[in-house]
Amino acid sequence: MDRLITTVYASTLSQILDEEGQNLAEATTVEGVVQGIVNIALPVAGIVALILFVIAGYKMITSQGNPDKLKDAKDMITNAVIGLVFILLSVGILVLISNMFNLGAFS
């Protein structure tokens, strides 16, 4: 039972490492925040776009030729593509700004 309980002292909080071995205290710098946004935004955008594509494909298959349902599925695919492109362009702008100001977040 003692293995499950770990005592953490204030002096050791800055030494806590994430899974990549980087210090979590780096998240307070501009580089850390930008990198954190990118590390979260890209996988979430990809997963959400994939889910929307699957749902739209299911709607398209089950539309049975109904033009309204087919249009709804096509609109959903269009919106998913636009959203994914928007996220990718946003990340591209973050990388561009990071490189312009030599922040080093994507070096």
Residue 73 falls within a domain, yes or no?
yes
Query: pLDDT tens digits for 48-69?
Result: 999 999 999 999 999 998 999 9
Q: What is the pLDDT of residue 77?
A: 96
Number of domains into which the chain is organized:
1
pLDDT at 8 over 90: no
Residue 67 falls within a domain, yes or no?
yes
Question: Which residues sit opposite 17 in a β-bridge?
Answer: 23
Query: pLDDT tens digits for 15-36?
Result: 555 445 555 555 567 677 777 7
Q: What is the pLDDT of residue 19?
A: 47
Query: pLDDT tens digits for 63-95?
Result: 998 999 999 999 999 999 999 999 889 888 888
Give the domain range for residue 63: 28-100
Residue 19 falls within a domain, yes or no?
no
